[in-house]
């Protein structure tokens, strides 16, 4: 296990730090102002502008294969880049990427969906969750019925990221109920123009999911992704990658928040002394530093294992669980250190708290991660001490 970086990798991270400091951190005030005015920022146009600046700096398609113009830096470097980027306290994703399962596209599908998505000309969404099927992805009910050369989709998907803006969805539906989830679920590439509609769901943070509605939506057979009956396998491949980047973001956000708390504690005077001199404040800083470091190493371990074997689900579950809980505790302590000032909307702390609370829910709840970890230990012989 070797986390040492090459000179080229160090240069990439230096470029990321420069980009974050020059382009992203200065935008934080605009993000804060927009929320107070009931707007969402950065909007799609501004986001594309920032992504193009990142592309000029060589930050494009972090996990995208080189044959598609990406950097393909691997999971370890992507995790490190995500940590650095998350120090800017608003969501930002580098361009040049596509859902990992879109690489299962046929040549014709690649031209219509994969390549335009990589170039930012099209926006996709991953439509798996249903009203009665959240963590239990094996229980999806939405049917797809064969009619001539088409499949007819009826049903509803909920809490779909990018669902309000996407022009096509990767939709998972039951094509053969007799085969169960392992062989009876199929993924479809469904253009919005084919007839589905969406409605935004208001949340406490900046995550803007949507409900998707399908009423007799015809989907041509050539829009099946990855073959009939292989949908659940594709869905699990998609979810695994997303889970790794959540705790990486949590580490970067927590590092920035802790730096803010340390600086404020040195400056804030109470009872004639900087509050940094009080033990109660010191313990909050120390506990936060230790927890950030712990999660950081869990993320690096999971990312390294993903690069080595492609199957790092056990390590990713541990990192995701620890990271989602860590960032909530750290942000709470940082708000406590800032006192009433931290509770105001003039500071980004309360917005970060609202944003990160969803980490414990989406991409597998805390409870699901604990169940997976326990099953891996009890039923699948996962090692205790994964560095061995």
pLDDT score for 105: 97
DSSP-derived secondary structure letter, 150: E
Query: Is residue 192 located within the same domain as residue 259?
Result: no
User: Closest Cα partner for 243 from 201, 302, 293?
Assistant: 302
Mean pLDDT, range 263-269, rounded to an integer:
98
Which residue is catalytic, options 111, 267, 363, 379?
Answer: 363
- Collapse the DSSP code of 143 into the 3-class scheme (helix H, G, I; strand E, B; otherwise coil) and give the result: strand
Cβ–Cβ < 8 Å for 331, 356: yes
Query: Is residue 271 located within the same domain as residue 327?
Result: yes
Query: Is residue 239 located within the same domain as residue 224?
Result: no
Judged against a pLDDT cut of 80, whether residue 134 lies above it is answered with no
Q: Considering the domain boundaries, does residue 112 fall inside one?
A: no
Distance in angstroms between the alpha carbons of the first and the last residue of the chain? 10
Cβ–Cβ < 8 Å for 167, 190: no
Range of the domain at 157: 122-229
Q: Kindly indicate the confidence band of residue 206, based on its pLDDT and cuts at 50, 70 and 90.
A: confident
Tally of CB atoms within 10 A around 184: 18
Cβ–Cβ < 8 Å for 327, 275: no
pLDDT score for 386: 65
Which pTM value belongs to this model?
A: 0.93
Q: Considering the domain boundaries, does residue 84 fall inside one?
A: yes
Cross-strand pairs, 212: 157, 198
Judged against a pLDDT cut of 60, whether residue 388 lies above it is answered with no
Query: What is the overall mean pLDDT for the chain?
Result: 94
Query: Is residue 256 located within the same domain as residue 307?
Result: yes
pLDDT tens column, 169-178: 999 999 999 9
Q: Considering the domain boundaries, does residue 222 fall inside one?
A: yes
Mean pLDDT, range 94-104, rounded to an integer:
94
d(CA 323, CA 296): 8
Active site residue 363: yes
CATH code of 17's domain:
1.10.540.10
Query: Is residue 335 located within the same domain as residue 322?
Result: yes
């Amino acid at each position: 296990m070797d986390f040492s970086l090459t000179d080229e990798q160090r240069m990439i991270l230096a470029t990321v730090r420069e980009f974050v400091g020059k382009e992203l951190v200065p935008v934080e005030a605009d993000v804060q102002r927009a929320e107070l005015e009931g707007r969402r920022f950065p909007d799609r146009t501004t986001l594309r502008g920032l992504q193009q600046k990142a592309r000029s700096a060589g930050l494009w398609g972090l996990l995208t294969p080189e044959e598609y113009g990406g950097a393909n830096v691997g999971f370890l470097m992507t995790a490190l880049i995500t940590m650095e980027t998350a120090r800017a306290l608003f969501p930002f994703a580098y361009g040049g990427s596509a859902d990992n399962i879109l690489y299962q596209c046929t040549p014709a599908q690649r031209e219509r969906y994969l390549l335009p998505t990589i170039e930012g000309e099209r926006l996709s969404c991953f439509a798996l969750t249903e009203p009665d099927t959240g963590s239990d992805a094996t229980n999806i009910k939405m049917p797809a019925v064969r009619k001539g050369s088409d499949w007819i989709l009826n049903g509803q998907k909920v809490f779909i990221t990018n669902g309000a803006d996407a022009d096509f969805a990767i939709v998972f539906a039951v094509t053969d109920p007799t085969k169960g989830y392992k062989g009876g679920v199929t993924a479809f590439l469904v253009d919005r123009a084919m007839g589905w509609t969406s409605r935004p769901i208001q949340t406490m943070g900046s995550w803007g999911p949507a409900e998707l509605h399908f009423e007799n939506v015809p989907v041509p057979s050539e829009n099946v992704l990855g073959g009939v009956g292989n949908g659940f396998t594709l869905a699990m491949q998609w979810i695994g990658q997303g889970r790794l980047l959540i705790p990486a973001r949590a580490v970067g956000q927590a590092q920035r928040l802790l730096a803010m708390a340390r600086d404020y504690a040195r400056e804030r005077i109470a009872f004639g002394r900087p509050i940094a001199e009080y033990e109660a404040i010191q313990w909050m800083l120390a506990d936060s530093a230790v927890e950030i470091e712990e999660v950081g190493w869990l993320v690096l371990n999971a990312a390294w294992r993903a690069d080595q074997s492609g199957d790092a689900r056990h390590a990713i579950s541990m990192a995701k669980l620890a990271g989602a809980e860590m960032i909530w505790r750290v942000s709470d302590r940082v708000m406590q250190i800032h006192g009433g000032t931290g509770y105001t909307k003039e500071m980004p702390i309360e917005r970060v708290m609202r944003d990160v609370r969803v980490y414990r829910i989406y991409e597998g709840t805390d409870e699901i991660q604990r169940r997976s970890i326990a099953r891996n230990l009890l039923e699948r012989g996962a090692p205790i001490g994964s560095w061995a």
